[in-house]
């Protein structure tokens, strides 16, 4: 990626730790069918709420299902929601931000006032309101999270386009007859993607956290599909006798979100020329 100080990134221990967490999570989700010790949907009523043991390292839930297996498969849900929702937000943010920053004037004013209106609504409560009218499913969750998380990316892209559209290479493209779409997507946008990459990394963490919260409330990913949020719901219902149902998925969410945030912060620091030596 152009503009990144890779030396600074690889000497940032916190960023490397975040990167390792992200890579491990990706590997675990990819290898879930082979490394999961049990079928995540397998019910064993003789092992209901069994504590952690050699047979079930993270214990079992209220239906005797292996918690470790459900968490491994749940990591797939987290990654899918994180990447798809963030991808939707990036596409919307890039289009609106590019149009606002490139054309300016009344186009910029109209789009940015719409951004300001969207920012007036608390994001999580807006998501709850929309989900209340839709069937709770993983695809609806991803679409709603993405459709309510594009405002920050729009602002970033707009600012980059305002700065870049007056550069010499843009003027040269206009001189040779390049149209607006070509200038926007071929000449300017690639030079603005570094900040988008940082925002996307941080956005994945936010999407994972939001999905977990929605599943915890019972309006996200629905059982029997395993997700960290609905495992936590079972933990809430059995908190007095099954502490492992709350501890392990809670730690998984904490470590995953922290890993993405550390990675995003590290990339942002490596992109800042004021912090380079």
Q: Which of 152, 119, 132, 133 is nearest to 217 (CA)?
A: 132
pLDDT of residue 272: 56
Q: Which of 262, 259, 266 is nearest to 28 (CA)?
A: 259
44: left (phi over 0), alpha (psi -120 to 50) or beta: beta
pLDDT of residue 6: 62
Query: What is the Cα Rg of the chain in Å?
Result: 22
> Which domains can be identified in the chain, with CATH numbers?
6-41+56-275 (1.10.3720.10)
Q: What is the mean pLDDT of the chain?
A: 84
Confidence bin at 123 (pLDDT 50/70/90): confident
Does the pLDDT value for residue 268 go beyond 50?
A: yes
- Over residues 226-239, the mean pLDDT reads 84
Give CA–CA dist 104/16, Å, rounded.
Answer: 39
What are the residues whose beta carbons fall under 8 Å from the beta carbon of 105, sequence distance 6 or more?
none
Confidence bin at 277 (pLDDT 50/70/90): very low
pLDDT of residue 9: 67
pLDDT of residue 274: 45
Upstream peptide bond of 224 is cis (omega within 30 degrees of 0): yes
- Over residues 156-167, the mean pLDDT reads 86
- Over residues 58-70, the mean pLDDT reads 90
Give me the phi and psi of 51, to 5 degrees please: -70, 165
The encoded tokens of residue 275 equal 């912090």
């Amino acid at each position: 990626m152009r503009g990144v100080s890779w030396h600074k990134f690889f000497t940032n221990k916190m960023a490397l730790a975040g990167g390792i967490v992200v890579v491990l999570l990706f590997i675990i989700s990819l290898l879930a069918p082979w490394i999961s010790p049990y079928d995540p949907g397998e019910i064993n009523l003789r092992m209901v709420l069994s504590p952690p043991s050699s047979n079930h390292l993270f214990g079992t839930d209220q239906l005797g299902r292996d918690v470790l297996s459900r968490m491994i498969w749940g990591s797939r849900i987290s990654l899918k929601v994180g990447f798809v929702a963030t991808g939707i937000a990036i596409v919307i943010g890039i289009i609106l931000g590019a149009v606002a920053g490139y054309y300016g004037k009344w186009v910029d004013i109209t789009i940015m006032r719409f951004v300001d209106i969207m920012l007036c609504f608390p994001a999580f409560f807006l998501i709850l309101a929309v989900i209340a009218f839709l069937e709770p499913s993983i695809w609806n969750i991803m679409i709603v999270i993405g459709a309510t998380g594009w405002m920050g990316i729009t602002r970033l892209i707009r600012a980059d386009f305002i700065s870049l559209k007056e550069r010499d290479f843009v003027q040269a493209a206009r001189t040779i007859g390049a149209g607006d779409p070509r200038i926007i997507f071929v000449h300017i946008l690639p030079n603005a993607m570094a900040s988008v990459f940082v925002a996307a990394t941080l956005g994945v963490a936010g999407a994972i956290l939001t999905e977990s919260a929605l599943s915890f409330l019972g309006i996200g990913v629905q059982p029997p599909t395993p997700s960290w949020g609905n495992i936590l719901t079972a933990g809430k219902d059995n908190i007095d006798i099954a502490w492992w149902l709350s501890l392990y998925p809670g730690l998984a969410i904490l470590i995953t979100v922290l890993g993405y945030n550390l990675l995003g912060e590290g990339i942002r620091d490596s992109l800042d020329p004021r912090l380079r030596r």
